[in-house]
Amino acid sequence: MGIRKIVTIGDEALRKVCRKQEKFDFRLAVLLKDMADTMYKAEGVGLAAPQVGILRRIAVVDVTEDHSGLLELVNPEIIEQEGSQTGREGCLSVPGRQGVVTRPMKVKVRFQNRKGEWMELETEGFEARAICHETDHLDGKLYVDMMDRELTEEEIQGHIPEDDAQ
Ligand code: NI
């Protein structure tokens, strides 16, 4: 298990536009495995390569509690989106903070798998939110740039009215 160090806000790696991944080799497989292990250990629902200091268009997402829904997204692009949802969001690179962010309710994402095969996935709700958050990372964008507002410490612990909108 290769746990990588997660960089935090202020690190310039988080502000770069990442380059396309061109090679679908053993190194990519190792990176994807390490990224998933790092995400699960940190109890996150997504992790993008720049968060571990690698400026490539690669992300992992898993919004399930039992780790059964791992998505490995190489060169992902949101090609369709529909509706909107407003709710809380956090980021492993922005520890201890959360904000209210409006995202599409449904997305269609086109991406390559670890073998380089192009795939499409339609999803909605929290998984759609997580995919949007991770693809933003690949363009150097953080949720704090687009949040409607930041949550207070008390709200982070409890219920917030915007959650009802989801
Ligand atoms: Ni993040």
* Residue 134 bears catalytic tag: yes
**Inter-residue contact 114 to 127 (CB < 8 Å):** no
**pLDDT per residue of the chain (166 residues) written in tens, 0 to 9:** 699 999 999 999 999 999 999 999 999 999 999 999 999 999 999 999 999 999 999 999 999 999 999 999 999 999 999 999 999 999 999 999 999 999 999 999 999 999 999 999 999 999 999 999 999 999 999 999 999 999 999 999 987 766 655 4
Which of the residues 89, 127, 134, 162 is marked catalytic? Answer: 134
**Residue closest to 60 by CA, chosen among 43, 78, 74, 81:** 74
Maximum alpha-carbon separation in the chain? 46
Cα 85 to middle of ligand 1, angstroms = 18
**Inter-residue contact 60 to 47 (CB < 8 Å):** yes
This prediction has a pTM of 0.95
The per-residue pLDDT of the chain, averaged, comes to 95
In whole angstroms, give the CA distance from residue 75 to residue 112. 6
The structural domains of the chain, ordered by start, are: 12-165 (3.90.45.10)
Q: What is the pLDDT of residue 158?
A: 85
In whole angstroms, give the CA distance from residue 63 to residue 116. 23
State both tokens at 164: 């009802």
Whose tokens are 């790696």? That residue is 13
